[in-house]
Amino acid sequence: MIELDRAGRSFKVKRALVHAVRDLSFRVEPGEFVGYLGPNGAGKSTTIKMLCGILTPTSGRVRVAGLDPSRRRTTLARRIGVVFGQRTTLWWDLPLKDSFELIRLLYKVDRKVFRERLDELVETLDLAEFLRTPVRQLSLGQRMRGDLTAALLHAPDVLVLDEPTIGLDVISKNSIRAFLLRVNAERGTTVLLTTHDLGDIERLCRRVMVIDHGRLAFDGSLEQLMATSPEETIEEVVTRLYTRAGQ
Ligand SMILES: Nc1ncnc2c1ncn2[C@@H]1O[C@H](COP(=O)(O)OP(=O)(O)OP(=O)(O)O)[C@@H](O)[C@H]1O
């Protein structure tokens, strides 16, 4: 479903070349739920932007749902949903339901199918009482549930999440985690999750990839990750991995 073959992306900063992602190869199969970890500046957002077609790789190959994201951005948009925890994709001054209606029009979702999907998402995410509230008046947790709804209204095959639980309280985090597990299990949606919250990884991800300085430092199951040092907590294991990869 996601395939990177020696993908790289560099940026020219003044006269220097910054290699945000280098020689990165991995595959994510349909239905997987994969955590994508790395310290600040490791290259996670750059990878995600290449997956959505926002950035073109400067080397190698990227494919999502068999498509070259930077060349087939519009076609890919129908297959992928993206949530950036630090930014909303909703219309700031519009009531939540109007943002959803605009998304329906953008993605040309049939009105009846849309109604059914929206009703289900609104019920699961407990959004009914906020549908008439302008997005700017929503709390972070309410807005995040709105963003998740927006990302799933066109029933994408792949969901890419960049820090979806950032700034949320423990109850909101848990309800979003339960929701994501349900989406993955019931719809078979492939999920790639970037987070600095290791609780997200422990609760959600069967597989974990760790990237540092644009290169893959670990790729395996959560059990394999923890088995690298059975006495340690996930925080300790990941800290050691980040430090070692950075050397
Ligand atoms: N548009 C850009 N121009 C120049 N350098 C960039 C650009 N985007 C990213 N970089 C650099 O590429 C590297 C990787 O950045 P990226 O945002 O992908 O990291 P990240 O893993 O998402 O970090 P964080 O966890 O802090 O969000 C960093 O050194 C960053 O400064």
Where in the chain are the domains? 33-57+71-245
Residue 21 CA: which ligand 1 atom is closest? 14
- What was the pLDDT predicted at 124? 87
**Which residue has the CA at smallest separation from atom 10 of ligand 1?**
20
Structure-block tokens of residue 28? 């994510």
Position 147, amino acid: D
Over residues 187-215, the pLDDT tens digits come to 999 999 999 999 999 999 999 999 998 89
User: CB of 13 closer than 6 A to ligand 1?
Assistant: yes
Q: How far apart are CA 125 and CA 186, in angstroms?
A: 15
User: CB of 43 closer than 6 A to ligand 1?
Assistant: yes
Q: Which among 192, 201, 121 has a CA at the least distance from the CA of 162?
A: 192
pLDDT mean over 89-111: 93
**Which residue has the CA at smallest separation from atom 25 of ligand 1?**
40
Can you point out the beta strands (E) in 108-166?
158-162
User: CB of 17 closer than 6 A to ligand 1?
Assistant: no
Span from the CA of 113 to the centroid of ligand 1 (angstroms)? 38
User: CB of 46 closer than 6 A to ligand 1?
Assistant: yes
Residue 45 CA: which ligand 1 atom is closest? 22
Task: Answer for the pair 121, 127: CB distance below 8 angstroms, yes or no.
Answer: yes
Over residues 107-146, the pLDDT tens digits come to 989 999 999 999 989 988 889 999 999 999 999 889 999 9
Q: How far apart are CA 213 and CA 78, in angstroms?
A: 31
- What was the pLDDT predicted at 171? 87
Query: pTM, whole model, 2 decimals?
Result: 0.91
* Residues near 62 by beta carbon (within 8 Å), at least 6 away in sequence: 3, 4, 5, 7, 50, 51, 68, 69, 70
User: CB of 80 closer than 6 A to ligand 1?
Assistant: no
Q: How far apart are CA 78 and CA 221, in angstroms?
A: 29
Q: How far apart are CA 62 and CA 24, in angstroms?
A: 10
Q: How far apart are CA 89 and CA 155, in angstroms?
A: 16
Q: How far apart are CA 22 and CA 214, in angstroms?
A: 5
Span from the CA of 67 to the centroid of ligand 1 (angstroms)? 24
pLDDT mean over 21-33: 96
Class of 33-57+71-245 per CATH? alpha beta
- What was the pLDDT predicted at 246? 52
